[in-house]
Structure formats: C-alpha cells, structure tokens
C-alpha cells in the first residue's frame, strides 16, 4: 500500500506546481494592474477545473468497478498507456517552456481582460484543468497497481499537491526561490522512469484483458527466488512497477521507452539555449549568476517598464518588462511571480477591435443593470454553472453506468454447500463474498486441490455472516475447502482457470507435519538441560571452594548453554524467571531478595562479592535447573510456537544483548548473542525440510545471513575466554553487527507464515 506513495507524491508535486505557478502569475498580473475585483473570476475557473478533475476521477472509478474483470484489466491498461503519453508530453513541455511561463500567461490575461468575465474564467479553467485531468488520470492509474488499496497512492498525491500549494504561496510572497529548470529537469528524470514502469504495467493489464497476446510468455520470472510479498519487492513494485514476473512485451517496452525517451530528454537538455531578446535602451542592470535571480532584479525591470511614457502602448510597456525579466531571471521562479506582483500598474490593454483607445489605468467594472446582476445575468450564475456542470455530467455518466461496483461472486460456506456459486472465474485479482450458510463457525480456504496449496483464507467465519476474500487467480485448478469447528473438512468441486500467469500459493502445514521437528527439538532441549545441570553443579562447587576465577569461567559456560535453549523459553514458565531473571522492576534492584539465578551471580562475581556470600545463590540455581529438567518432559509445547521461535530468539538478542541491557558486569553479552544464534540454527535445522518445500530460496538467504552474523561475533572474541563488551565496540562495528542481525530477522520473518498450521492441510 504505502510503497506506492512516492510516484504519486512526485506527480502531485509536479502537476500541482505547474498549475500553482499559473494561478500565481494570473493573480499577480491582476493585482499589478489594479484589477483585484476580477480575482473571483480566476478562483471560479480554478474551482471549476478542480471540480472537473474530481468528477473525471469519480467517473473512472465507478465506471471501471462495474465492468467484468477482463474488461477492467483492458480498461486500466488503455488508460495506463494514455497516462504515460500525457506524462511524457508534460515532462517535455515543461522542460521547454519553464523559462517563458510568465510571459505567456501575462499575454493571455491581457487578452482576457478585454473580453469580460467569461474569458478570464475560461483562461484560468483551461490553465489549471489540463494539469488537473493529467493528475487525476495518473493517480487513478497508479491506484490500480495497488490492487484495491488506494490509501497510499491517494495520500502521496495529496501530500504532493499540498506541498505544491505551499511552495506557490511562498513564491508569491517572495519568501522562496526555486530554480525551475533544475527542478523540472530532475523531477523529469524521475517521472520518465516511473512512467516506464506504468507502461509495462499497462501492457500487462492489456495482456490479462486479452487485448494483447503473450500473457504467459515470461522473460523474467524470479518468483521462485524472490518473495513477491517481501517489503523490498513491494517497494520496487510500488515505485517502479517492476515485478518478479514480467513478460517479453513488458520488458521490451520498458527498456525501449527508457532508451528512447531518456535519450531525447537528455539531448534536449544539451541543446543550445536561445539568446535573450534585445532590450530597449535602459539603465544598466547588475550582473546576476546564471540560473539564480533575485526579486530585486525583477522589480527593477518592472519599474523600468512602468516608466514608459504614458502615450506608449501597453504592449510596448509589458513587452519591455517581460524581456527584462527573461534576461535577468533565467530560471528562478521567485522573480517571475514577484515581477508581476510588485510592479506599478502598466498602461491599460489596447481597446477591443474596432474601438478607440481607452484611457490608461485599471478598467472600471461594468455598470450592473440591476441589484446583484451584470448584463441581466445574476452574479452568482456563472460561478455556479461552471462548478456544477462537471459534477452534474459526472453524476449522469455514473448513473448511466450503474454507479456501483459490480457485485462480487457470492460463494456459500457450509458442510453441505461448500463452494456453491463458484463457477468459471476469470484470471486476475478476484473478490469473493463468502457467506456462511451453516450453523457452525468455519475456516475457509481457496486451494489447489492437487497440492492443497492455499491461495486465500478466512479464519473464523461465523454462521450467517459474509466476509470478502480477495485472491489472485492464474492458470490452474481451484477449489474451496470449508472446515467447520469440530467438524470434517469439505472440499468443493474443482474449477479450471485458463490464462493468466503463475500465482504464488502456500503449501499448508498440519500439526502432524510439525510433530517430527517438535520431537527432535524436545530431545535437543532435554539433552541441553542435562548438561546444564552438570554445569551449574560445577559452578556451585567452585564457589564453595572459594575459587572465584574458575567460577567466572564456569558461569559463562553454564549461562551460554542456557541461552542456546532459547526456543524453549515459552515452556520453561516460572523456572525462567528464577534461572535467568533480571533485576528490572524489583524494589531493591540487584540487591532484592527475589533477584536470583545467572544474572545475580554475574553481578556478584564481577562486583567483588565473596565466594562464600554467593554460594547459596549458586546452590539455588543448581536446584532450579534440576527442577526444570524434571518438569520439562511433562510440559506442554504448542507445535505452532516452534516456527515463531526462529524469529523471537534473535528479537530478544537485538533488544537486550546487543544493547548491553542485561550486562551485570561480565561484558559477555556477545557470548550470549552467539549462543542465541546457535539456538536459532538448531531450530532451523529441525524445520529445514518443511521450509525447503515451501521456499527453497529463503534458506539460502537465511544461511548467508547467519554466517555473516557469526563472523562478526567471532571478531569480538578475545584470546581465551574473553569477549569485547558491547559498549567497547567501535561505532562502525556495532552498527554493522546490529544491521546484520536486523537483516537476519527480516529474512526470518516469513517463516511463521510459511509454517502456520492450517486446517486445510
């Protein structure tokens, strides 16, 4: 969802800034010319353009939603290609015209002032409406790539538009300068890359809509090596529209578009720039660095133009000002807006064709023919009409198309009607309304009947309720499996889907699948506890004999042994707080009577407490370990917790060990981290066969991550049994280690989902 924010932010910022600059120059021109009473006409045109853009977006949304799936794909594909054309044209147009934007707009305003209210409304409407329609089309197109979750694209576009409005206000108030050429050049590069991805996505939609051939001919297929649902794959798809599966047509079109358009864009940047127009004789102007001009330079140019004799024509005065600004400002937006905002009023525009010259000064408003009327038409009529017409037209179009989303297929869920209503689905993204007609809460799965792989699921569908299930269908067989609470699984008849690409599914795991790994792991933990019992007994003997140095060595051996059994923390229950509890939260801290176990001994051993004073604590630790070993075989261990521990052990490592939070003086947090890593490896070992069947590439990635973390930890070992305390690591090493563990956690995150126990198995 949120990975689609950036491209829509960029288009909102670009288009919003273009439209905002136009509005700023329109307003500034009217203010400079003493025509403030005409400003409502500008805002009316702007409001009409916004209304048209919103109406256009509504028509696209409602019209497409009631189409069949194949038609939706084709419709979206066509509009994606059109959007790419608009964006490409916009990028080249602004690169060419950014320098002369002020002059062009002023010429249009000057002409509109002689033609009445309607002309000025139309001028602002057309200037803003083009950008608004392009923005609506591009945002709608990108929202389709988010597969129904439009929050990210719309949020990105809204942020871009708001920022553009703020920038234009700052330009108008002369508190900001923007080099338009550089801004539109760099954003142009970004939009060309994004547009290339949209083109590829649009062509894929046309293939899935059966408009173009080659939907199953993949040039790139990384689905077996890269998880399409991972954050990095989603980010690349959201920003660049590059997916793990791309057809020949998509790849060729993407590469060709970038090669051609980017070459032409760069070539245009390298083209020689036109020489500035020659100015009339005037006082010399101070030199200004290329590409950066101040508002003061623009003011001087404007004042020079204002000094034109009264008998001169407005065209001459305005032309002088425009020429001066074009020469002085180069590409800086502040000067363009400031020049028209702050200069004295010029001579009036020439009279309409066929009339004599009018006196200089602002054009007086027409005399109303009656209260609240102008020329027999109410003052409010024109604004209301231009704003209401787009909304009315959109409403008519939406009503004609049905005005609502096409009803999703309703599929029955019950022990007797599982899958009723599931007939002949189209390939692509589908939404099914799952209605439980039975009397029991049920689990619902969309599966491949041959392998039991799951494409979509709903947990806990209560009787009489309906919930939506969205899944992407490709070529293959599909069936529904309903599993009532306490009842037997019921599978519907299989339905064959033709067309579409390959779709990723998850092979389900049952409790029996995890029974073997669980038994192996319990054996490992039991053996580890037996060794730990011997280790803690030796530690207690050291303290009873007064050998503190040996006690420190044996403490580390026993503590790391315990840390390597981390996956069993959930079954150690109260024993864990006695054996390895922390002093956090205890009333007397490290001196509290309830602070026992390994960390209490660590504090005493490394803070000069005598062996005799610590012997009783060591005896209690040995007793607790013995009690744990006796209790462990009878303790419950939920098989579903086993996959969770692959991630949770190292989460604790990152939170407590690599921060030094649990260090009570020994400085051996990294030794504990190494033991946690060993425990994670042991757990992955018993789960490896199950993971390999579901995501073979994941194991290779995780193994590489583990090797990297192990290497970094080994570098922190000192000769003998010594370890570098976490706080003594240099900043680079510590950052690298934290990053490596964080990456390992990221790559381990899919394991619980892959090995989740599903009743469909």
Say which CATH number the domain at 429 has. Answer: 2.60.40.420
Q: Which helix (H) or strand (E) holds 477?
A: strand 476-484
| Residue 195 lies inside a defined structural domain of this protein | yes
Indicate whether 529 and 572 sit together in one domain: yes
| Residue 63 lies inside a defined structural domain of this protein | yes
**28 in Cβ contact with 337 (< 8 Å):** yes
According to the model, what pLDDT value does residue 111 have? 66
Q: Residue 476 — left, alpha, or beta (φ > 0 → left; ψ -120 to 50 → alpha)?
A: left
Indicate whether 161 and 254 sit together in one domain: yes
Report the b/e string of 254-266 with b at 16+ CB within 10 A: beebbeebeeebe
| Residue 237 lies inside a defined structural domain of this protein | no
For residue 717, the cross-strand partners are 723
For tokens 């290497």, the residue is 711
Distance separating alpha carbons of residues 55 and 395, to the nearest angstrom: 8
Residue, of 568 and 655, whose pLDDT is higher = 655
Residue, of 342 and 100, whose pLDDT is higher = 100
Q: Is 43 exposed, middle or buried (0-12, 13-18, 19+ CB in 10 A)?
A: middle
The answer, yes or no, to whether residue 336 has pLDDT greater than 60, is no
Indicate whether 588 and 560 sit together in one domain: yes
Indicate whether 207 and 82 sit together in one domain: yes
List the beta strands (DSSP E) in 398-475. Answer: 409-413, 428-436, 442-447, 454-461, 466-473
- Name every residue whose Cβ is closer than 8 Å to that of residue 593 and which is 6 or more positions away in sequence: none
Which domain covers residue 65, as residue numbers? Answer: 2-211+250-270
Distance separating alpha carbons of residues 247 and 252, to the nearest angstrom: 9
For residues 727-755, average pLDDT: 92
Domain boundary among 497, 531, 560: 497
Domain boundary among 497, 531, 550: 497
According to the model, what pLDDT value does residue 471 have? 86
The answer, yes or no, to whether residue 284 has pLDDT greater than 50, is no
| Residue 362 lies inside a defined structural domain of this protein | no
| Residue 371 lies inside a defined structural domain of this protein | no
Indicate whether 592 and 720 sit together in one domain: yes
The answer, yes or no, to whether residue 751 has pLDDT greater than 70, is yes
The answer, yes or no, to whether residue 354 has pLDDT greater than 50, is no
Q: Read off the pLDDT band of 311 (50, 70, 90).
A: very low
- Name every residue whose Cβ is closer than 8 Å to that of residue 128 and which is 6 or more positions away in sequence: 19, 22, 23, 45, 46, 49, 50
Q: Read off the pLDDT band of 283 (50, 70, 90).
A: very low
Residue, of 79 and 405, whose pLDDT is higher = 79
Indicate whether 555 and 583 sit together in one domain: yes
According to the model, what pLDDT value does residue 288 have? 37
Q: Read off the pLDDT band of 584 (50, 70, 90).
A: confident
For residues 181-189, average pLDDT: 77
Torsion angle defined by CA atoms of residues 12, 17, 18 and 24, in that order, rounded to the nearest 10 degrees: 140
The tokens of 36 are what?
Answer: 């403030």
| Residue 503 lies inside a defined structural domain of this protein | no
Number of neighbours of residue 122 by Cβ within 10 angstroms: 18
The tokens of 620 are what?
Answer: 């209690």
Q: Read off the pLDDT band of 650 (50, 70, 90).
A: very high
| Phi, psi (deg, nearest 5) at residue 693 | -70, -25
Indicate whether 178 and 324 sit together in one domain: no
Indicate whether 632 and 560 sit together in one domain: yes
- Name every residue whose Cβ is closer than 8 Å to that of residue 675 and which is 6 or more positions away in sequence: 560, 561, 562, 563, 564, 566
Range with top average pLDDT, 4-8, 371-375, 426-430: 426-430
Indicate whether 47 and 158 sit together in one domain: yes
Indicate whether 478 and 556 sit together in one domain: no
Distance separating alpha carbons of residues 4 and 449, to the nearest angstrom: 34
Indicate whether 9 and 90 sit together in one domain: yes
| Phi, psi (deg, nearest 5) at residue 181 | -60, -45
Quote the distance between the C-alpha of residue 540 and its chain's center. Answer: 55
Distance separating alpha carbons of residues 291 and 273, to the nearest angstrom: 12
According to the model, what pLDDT value does residue 213 have? 83
> In the chain, how many domains are there?
4
According to the model, what pLDDT value does residue 147 have? 46
For residues 366-373, average pLDDT: 43
Distance separating alpha carbons of residues 278 and 276, to the nearest angstrom: 6
Coil, helix or strand for 723? Answer: strand
Torsion angle defined by CA atoms of residues 365, 370, 376 and 382, in that order, rounded to the nearest 10 degrees: 60
For residue 478, the cross-strand partners are 495
**181 in Cβ contact with 333 (< 8 Å):** no
DSSP code per residue over 659-707: TTTT-SSS--HHHHHHHHHHHHHHHHHHHHHHHHHH-HHHHHHHHHHHH
Whole-Å CA distances, 24 to 124, 130, 363, 616, 704: 11, 16, 21, 82, 56
Q: Read off the pLDDT band of 287 (50, 70, 90).
A: very low
List the beta strands (DSSP E) in 286-380. Answer: 373-374, 377-378
According to the model, what pLDDT value does residue 79 have? 75
Mean pLDDT of the chain: 76
According to the model, what pLDDT value does residue 172 have? 74
According to the model, what pLDDT value does residue 680 have? 95
Report the b/e string of 159-168 with b at 16+ CB within 10 A: ebbeebeebb
For tokens 């006796």, the residue is 630
| Residue 384 lies inside a defined structural domain of this protein | no
Indicate whether 566 and 614 sit together in one domain: yes
Q: Read off the pLDDT band of 480 (50, 70, 90).
A: very high
**Torsion sign over Cα 413, 415, 417, 420:** positive
For residues 186-212, average pLDDT: 81
Q: Which helix (H) or strand (E) holds 371?
A: none
| Residue 18 lies inside a defined structural domain of this protein | yes
Instruction: Specify the pTM.
Output: 0.50
For residues 294-301, average pLDDT: 36
Distance separating alpha carbons of residues 732 and 154, to the nearest angstrom: 39
Q: Report the percent of the chain where pLDDT is more than 90.
A: 30
Q: Read off the pLDDT band of 679 (50, 70, 90).
A: very high
Q: Read off the pLDDT band of 697 (50, 70, 90).
A: confident
């Amino acid at each position: 969802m949120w990975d689609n924010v950036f491209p829509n932010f960029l288009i909102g910022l670009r288009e919003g800034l273009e439209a905002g600059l136009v509005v700023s120059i329109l307003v500034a021109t009217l203010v400079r010319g003493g025509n403030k009473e005409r400003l409502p006409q500008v805002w009316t045109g702007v409001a009409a353009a916004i209304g048209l853009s919103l109406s256009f977006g509504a028509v696209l949304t409602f019209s497409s939603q009631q189409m069949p799936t194949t038609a939706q794909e084709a419709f979206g594909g066509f509009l994606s290609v059109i959007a790419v054309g608009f964006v490409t044209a916009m990028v080249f147009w602004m690169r060419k015209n950014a320098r002369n934007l002020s002059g062009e707009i002023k010429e249009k305003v000057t002409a509109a002032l002689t033609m009445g209210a309607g002309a000025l409304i139309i001028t602002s409407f057309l200037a803003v409406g083009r950008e608004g329609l392009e923005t609506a089309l591009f945002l709608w197109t990108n929202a389709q790539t988010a597969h129904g979750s439009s929050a990210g694209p719309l949020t990105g576009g809204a942020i871009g538009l708001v920022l553009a409005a703020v920038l234009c206000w700052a330009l108008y108030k002369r508190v900001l300068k923007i080099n338009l050429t550089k801004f539109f050049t760099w954003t142009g590069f970004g939009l060309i890359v994004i547009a290339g991805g949209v083109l590829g996505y649009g062509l894929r939609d046309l293939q899935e809509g059966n408009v173009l051939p080659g939907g199953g001919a993949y040039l790139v297929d990384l689905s077996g090596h890269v998880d399409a649902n991972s954050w990095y794959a989603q980010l690349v798809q959201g920003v660049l529209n590059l997916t793990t599966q791309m057809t020949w047509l998509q790849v060729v079109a993407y590469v060709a578009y970038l090669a051609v358009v980017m070459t032409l864009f760069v070539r245009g940047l390298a083209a020689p720039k036109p020489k500035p127009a020659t100015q009339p004789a005037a006082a010399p102007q101070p030199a200004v660095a290329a590409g950066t001009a101040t508002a003061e330079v623009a003011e001087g140019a404007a004042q020079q133009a204002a000094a034109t004799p009264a008998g001169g024509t407005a065209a001459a005065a305005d032309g002088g000002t425009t020429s001066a600004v074009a020469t002085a400002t180069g590409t800086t937006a502040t000067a363009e807006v400031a020049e028209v905002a702050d200069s004295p009023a010029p001579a009036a525009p020439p009279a309409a064709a066929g009339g004599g010259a009018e006196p200089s000064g602002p054009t007086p408003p027409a005399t109303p023919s009656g209260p609240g009327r102008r020329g027999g038409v109410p003052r409010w009529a024109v604004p209301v009409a231009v704003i209401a017409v787009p909304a009315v037209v959109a409403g008519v179009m939406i009503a004609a198309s049905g005005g609502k989303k096409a009803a999703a297929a309703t599929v029955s869920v019950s022990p007797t009607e599982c899958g009723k209503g599931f007939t002949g689905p189209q390939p692509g993204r589908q939404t099914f309304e799952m209605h439980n007609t039975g009397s029991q809460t049920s689990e619902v799965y969309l599966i491949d009947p041959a392998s039991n792989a799951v494409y979509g699921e709903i947990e806990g569908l209560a009787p009489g309720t309906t919930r939506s299930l969205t899944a992407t269908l490709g070529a293959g067989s599909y069936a529904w499996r309903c599993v009532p609470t306490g009842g037997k699984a019921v599978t519907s008849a299989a339905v064959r889907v033709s067309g579409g690409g390959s779709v990723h599914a998850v092979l389900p795991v049952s409790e029996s699948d995890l029974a073997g790994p669980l038994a192996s792991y319990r054996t490992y933990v039991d053996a580890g506890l037996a060794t730990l019992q011997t280790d803690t007994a030796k530690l207690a003997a050291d303290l009873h004999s007064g050998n503190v140095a040996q006690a420190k060595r044996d403490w580390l051996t026993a503590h790391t042994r315990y840390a390597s059994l981390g996956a069993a923390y959930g079954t150690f229950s109260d024993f864990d707080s006695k054996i390895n509890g922390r002093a956090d939260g205890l009333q007397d801290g490290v001196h509290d009577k309830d602070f026992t176990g390994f960390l209490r001994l660590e504090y005493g051993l490394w803070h000069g407490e005598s062996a005799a004073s610590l012997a009783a604590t060591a005896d209690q630790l040995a007793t607790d370990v013995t009690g744990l070993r006796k209790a462990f075989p009878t303790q419950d261990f939920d098989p579903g917790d086993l996959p969770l521990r692959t991630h949770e052990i190292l989460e604790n490592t990152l939170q407590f060990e690599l921060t030094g939070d649990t260090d009570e003086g020994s400085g051996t947090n990294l030794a504990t981290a190494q033991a946690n890593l060993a425990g994670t490896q042991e757990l992955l070992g018993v789960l490896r066969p199950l993971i390999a069947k579901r995501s073979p590439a994941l194991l290779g990635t995780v193994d590489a991550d583990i090797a990297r973390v192990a290497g970094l930890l080994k570098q922190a070992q000192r000769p003998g049994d010594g370890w570098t305390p976490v706080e003594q690591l240099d900043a680079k090493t510590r950052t690298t280690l934290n990053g490596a563990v964080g990456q390992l956690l990221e790559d381990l995150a899919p394991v619980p989902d892959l090995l989740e126990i599903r009743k469909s198995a």
